[in-house]
């Protein structure tokens, strides 16, 4: 009895203790972990409900008034939401005048205040480059920058008609201790003939400031000029006025550039290492904080953050106990291996905010993890870096492995592809960097025809999606699947007529009839380059036929953006093409599936002529092709715009002077944009191949010189673009039942098989 009581008592005591302990732990626990407490303990204290909350006054009076009749005249206009009636709020003219005082503060420069729009409105977006003064030294990099501007379609030699002016004074390196620092610019800049305080000038800079503080001071007065600068911090960056550049090295190529390193979309996409970095460790001074702490994250397995103290003249004087071990680790790994075998690459700030690591990582398809607080990322005005990089906070350095591990495979796949797109669209060569800079400024000035986010951030990117054509992504050939839309299901036939109409059996007339018979043909446009006037009557319905007298008879005029073309698709035809309606219809149905490519009939190929070390061109029947002739081909009408406004001027001039190769150039352009070969569809007659036979007809195709020209065109185009964009295809697209042993009646495109 006593024992049982004692035991029960003991039990009770134990229970009591347990409760106590539990409660205490619970209480402490609740205070320590998030969410635990609210859910377990008590309701969250929320914002109270108020009596008569629905009768609380509005934040501003005047817009909604319940008793308008009682409002007297004096009070009638009071509307705090919009503006006061006192009416005399500052008008646009007065405001313009008011901005003048703002000008004194350079930091507040914006396009509205420090940029004079009138020359741009009068002459369009034109860029002038000052000639180099006598005895002036210009670094190789800056010479490249200037050459790109001079070759760009925006270049003007007339400073009075210039919207933007670029001095030839080399300001790329403003580090006083650097060997490429140019002296005496401080006085030279303001004495430029059209300086005018710097308005409308654009200055390029890669390095500014020097040891020990690396201030971003240019060491000269930029006046009201815009600054395109690498490593720019958002303290001094003037939004929508300055441009943030990537830091590129001395040997960055002018054109072409390295293609992205990604060769395949492997999946799962994780590489051998998770996160890698190899670079200098600064023992003291600005930027040392992050790099000194990197070793905390290094684990020797999948997170490899290797730093070395060995740099500068007297590193051993500042060395610390870790240097030796660091240096040993550092030497064990090859930088290139790390880049290509890591999923993520750390891009920490150096002495300056930006570093070479950034572009290197992008090129290597290693997703950059940016650790540089306050860095205005390159071209951040238009590029969405969230899609191509991980931007972290220096202060949360230790969280980085966790952050990086939390990026899932699908995200890595997308981020990695985006690094490659961004690299090859905007960074791989100096001409891309410079042109992107100019285009960003152009978009600001002509805001009504500027690119939206999609045009900049989806392939093929802002340089190839011209806003002058349209600001609507739906009108370009590139975004149909993204937007879930389709191209218009009609095409416009564009026929170039060079010989007069003399008989009713002429190929031209048969061609017009065959094309007009297609139910997808919206209109036929004849581009009349013949000296004799067109006949007054045609055999087909006149509403579907338009004749345009070509003003410009050059070869390139074939690809002028004709306003008469209202459909997305163009069927471009030479007058001597021979096509049946079935062939037209089938090719159009293929084009609807590939609206960004050239879909044509006869194909050609390029090849590397090893013996002569140049690119060659062949019209032989081969198992692969890389071009289709545009004398009979479907393509998107945007490509007329591309040809006329984006193709390098020198190449268009070359085409016009040769009266040849216009189709090769078109194939080059489209392949640059799509990075894909064109598409060849089957056709009945061996179009033009037949005419290649000597003696059949007097055509430009029969001329042997013609072929030699095409050889040299191919090579010349590749060297001007800096790379060979054409790609081979080994596929021809045929109708589904093509040459199948089934009744011809079952076939939709039976005419193609008839000979």
Site for another protein in 53-82 (CB under 8 A): 53-54, 56-60, 62-66, 68-69, 71, 76-77, 79-82
Residues 387-416 that bind another protein (CB under 8 A): 387, 390-396, 399, 402-403, 406-407, 409-410, 413-414
Residues 213-242 that bind another protein (CB under 8 A): 234-235, 239-240
Residues 452-511 that bind another protein (CB under 8 A): 452-454, 457-459, 470-472, 474-475, 481-485
Shorter beta-carbon distance to another protein: residue 351 or 680 = 680
Residues 413-442 that bind another protein (CB under 8 A): 413-414, 417, 420-421
8 binds another protein (CB under 8 A): no
Which has the closest alpha carbon to 337: 294, 366, 299, 359? 366
* CA distance linking residue 640 with residue 562, whole number of Å: 8
Burial class (CB in 10 A: 0-12, 13-18, 19+), 358: buried
Q: What are phi and psi of 491, to 5 degrees?
A: -130, 165
Q: How far is the CB of 675 from another protein (least distance, A)?
A: 4
Which of 179, 503, 504, 623 is the binder for another protein (CB under 8 A)?
Answer: 623
Whole-number Cα distances in Å, 137 to 133, 181, 753? 9, 10, 68
Which of 47, 191, 505, 563 is the binder for another protein (CB under 8 A)?
Answer: 47
Q: What is the dihedral of CA 526, 529, 530, 532, to 10 degrees?
A: 80
Q: What b/e sequence results for 186-208 when a residue is b if at least 16 CB atoms lie within 10 Å of its CB, and e otherwise?
A: eebbeebeebeebbbbbbbbbbb
Residue 416: cis peptide before it, omega within 30 degrees of 0: no
* CA distance linking residue 537 with residue 520, whole number of Å: 23
Q: How far is the CB of 318 from another protein (least distance, A)?
A: 27
Number of amino acids touching another protein (CB under 8 A): 156
Q: How far is the CB of 108 from another protein (least distance, A)?
A: 6
Shorter beta-carbon distance to another protein: residue 420 or 577 = 420
Which has the closest alpha carbon to 287: 360, 372, 378? 372
44 binds another protein (CB under 8 A): yes
DSSP state of 181: P
Shorter beta-carbon distance to another protein: residue 45 or 160 = 45
Specify the stretch interacting with another protein by CB under 8 A; choose among 1-9, 135-143, 173-181, 504-512.
Answer: 1-9
Specify the stretch interacting with another protein by CB under 8 A; choose among 166-174, 180-188, 429-437, 449-457.
Answer: 449-457
Which has the closest alpha carbon to 442: 166, 203, 154, 167? 154
Which of 254, 579, 590, 718 is the binder for another protein (CB under 8 A)?
Answer: 590
Contacts of 231 by beta carbon, 8 Å cutoff, 6+ apart: 206, 207, 208, 216, 247, 352, 353, 354, 375
Which of 325, 384, 549, 650 is the binder for another protein (CB under 8 A)?
Answer: 384
Q: How far is the CB of 227 from another protein (least distance, A)?
A: 16
* SS3 readout for 619-663: CCCCCCECEECCCEEEEECHHHHHHHHCCCHHHHHHHHHHCCCHH
Compose the 532-571 pattern: x for residues touching another protein by CB under 8 A, - for all others. Answer: ----------------------------------------
734 binds another protein (CB under 8 A): yes
Specify the stretch interacting with another protein by CB under 8 A; choose among 130-138, 286-294, 354-362, 623-631.
Answer: 623-631
Which has the closest alpha carbon to 258: 432, 424, 437, 434? 424
Burial class (CB in 10 A: 0-12, 13-18, 19+), 65: middle
Q: Phi/psi class of residue 219: alpha, beta or left (left: φ > 0; alpha: ψ in -120 to 50)?
A: left
Shorter beta-carbon distance to another protein: residue 345 or 512 = 345
DSSP state of 259: P
Shorter beta-carbon distance to another protein: residue 225 or 369 = 369
13 binds another protein (CB under 8 A): yes
Shorter beta-carbon distance to another protein: residue 171 or 569 = 569
83 binds another protein (CB under 8 A): yes
């Amino acid at each position: 009895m006593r024992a049982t009581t004692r035991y029960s008592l003991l039990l009770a005591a134990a229970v009591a203790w347990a409760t106590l302990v539990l409660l205490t732990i619970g209480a402490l626990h609740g205070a320590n972990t998030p969410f635990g407490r609210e859910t377990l303990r008590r309701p969250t204290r929320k914002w109270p409900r108020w009596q008569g909350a629905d009768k609380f006054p509005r934040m501003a009076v005047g817009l909604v008034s319940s008793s308008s009749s009682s409002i007297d005249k004096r009070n009638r206009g009071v509307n705090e939401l919009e503006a006061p009636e006192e009416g005399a709020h500052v008008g646009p003219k007065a405001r313009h005048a008011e901005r003048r005082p703002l000008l004194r503060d350079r930091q507040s420069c914006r396009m509205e205040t420090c940029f004079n729009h009138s020359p741009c409105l009068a002459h369009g977006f034109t860029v002038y480059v000052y000639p180099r003064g006598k005895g002036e030294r210009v670094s190789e990099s800056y010479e490249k920058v200037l050459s790109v501007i001079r070759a760009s379609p925006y270049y003007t030699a007339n400073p009075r008609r210039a919207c933007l002016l670029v001095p030839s004074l080399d300001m790329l390196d403003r580090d006083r201790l650097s060997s490429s620092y140019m002296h005496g610019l401080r006085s030279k800049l303001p004495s430029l003939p059209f300086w005018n305080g710097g308005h409308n000038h654009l200055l390029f800079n890669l390095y500014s400031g020097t040891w020990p503080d690396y201030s971003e001071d240019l060491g000269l007065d930029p006046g009201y000029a815009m600054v395109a600068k690498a490593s720019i911090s958002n303290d001094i960056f003037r939004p929508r006025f300055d441009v943030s550049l990537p830091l590129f090295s001395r040997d960055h190529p002018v054109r072409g550039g390295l293609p992205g390193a990604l060769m395949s979309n492997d999946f799962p996409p994780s590489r051998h290492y998770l996160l890698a970095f190899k670079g200098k460790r600064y023992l003291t001074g600005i930027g040392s904080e992050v790099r000194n702490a990197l070793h905390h994250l290094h684990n020797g397995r999948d997170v490899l953050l290797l730093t070395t103290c060995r740099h500068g003249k007297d590193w051993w004087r500042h060395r610390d106990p870790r240097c030796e071990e660091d240096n040993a680790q550092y030497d064990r790994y090859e930088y290139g291996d790390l880049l290509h075998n890591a999923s993520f690459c750390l891009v920490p700030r150096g002495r300056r905010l930006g570093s070479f690591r950034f572009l290197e990582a992008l090129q290597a398809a290693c997703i950059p993890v940016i650790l540089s607080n306050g860095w205005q990322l390159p071209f951040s005005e238009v590029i969405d870096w969230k899609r191509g990089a991980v931007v972290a906070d220096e202060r949360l350095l230790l969280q980085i492995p966790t952050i990086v591990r939390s990026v899932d495979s699908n995200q890595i796949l997308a981020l990695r592809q985006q690094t490659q797109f961004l690299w090859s669209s905007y960074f791989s060569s100096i001409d891309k960097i410079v042109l992107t800079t100019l285009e960003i400024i152009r978009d600001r000035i002509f805001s009504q025809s500027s690119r939206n986010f999609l045009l900049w951030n989806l392939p093929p990117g802002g340089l190839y999606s011209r806003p002058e054509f349209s600001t609507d992504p739906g009108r370009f050939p590139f975004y149909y699947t993204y937007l879930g839309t389709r191209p218009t299901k009609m095409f416009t036939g564009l026929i170039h007529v060079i010989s007069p109409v003399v008989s009713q059996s002429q190929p031209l007339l048969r061609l017009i009839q065959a094309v007009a018979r297609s139910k997808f043909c919206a209109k036929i446009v004849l581009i009349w380059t013949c000296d004799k006037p067109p006949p007054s009557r045609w055999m087909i319905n006149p509403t579907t036929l338009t004749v345009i007298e070509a003003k410009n008879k050059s070869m390139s005029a074939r690809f002028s953006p004709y306003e008469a073309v209202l459909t997305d698709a163009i069927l471009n035809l030479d007058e001597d093409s021979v096509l049946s309606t079935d062939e037209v219809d089938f090719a159009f149905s293929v084009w609807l599936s590939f609206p960004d490519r050239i879909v044509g009939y006869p194909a050609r190929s390029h090849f590397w002529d090893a013996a002569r070390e140049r690119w060659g061109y062949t019209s032989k029947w081969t198992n692969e092709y890389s071009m289709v002739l545009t004398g009979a081909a479907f393509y998107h009408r945007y490509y007329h715009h591309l040809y006329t406004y984006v193709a390098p001027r020198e190449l268009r001039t070359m085409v016009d002077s040769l009266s040849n190769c216009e189709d090769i150039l078109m194939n080059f352009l489209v392949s640059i944009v799509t990075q894909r070969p064109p598409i060849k569809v089957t056709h009945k007659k061996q179009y033009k191949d037949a005419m290649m036979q000597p003696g059949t007809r007097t055509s430009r195709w029969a001329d042997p010189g013609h072929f030699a020209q095409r050889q040299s065109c191919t090579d010349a185009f590749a060297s001007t673009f800096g790379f060979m964009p054409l790609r081979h295809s080994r596929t021809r697209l045929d109708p589904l039942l093509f040459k199948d042993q089934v009744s011809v009646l079952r076939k939709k495109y039976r005419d193609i098989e008839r000979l």
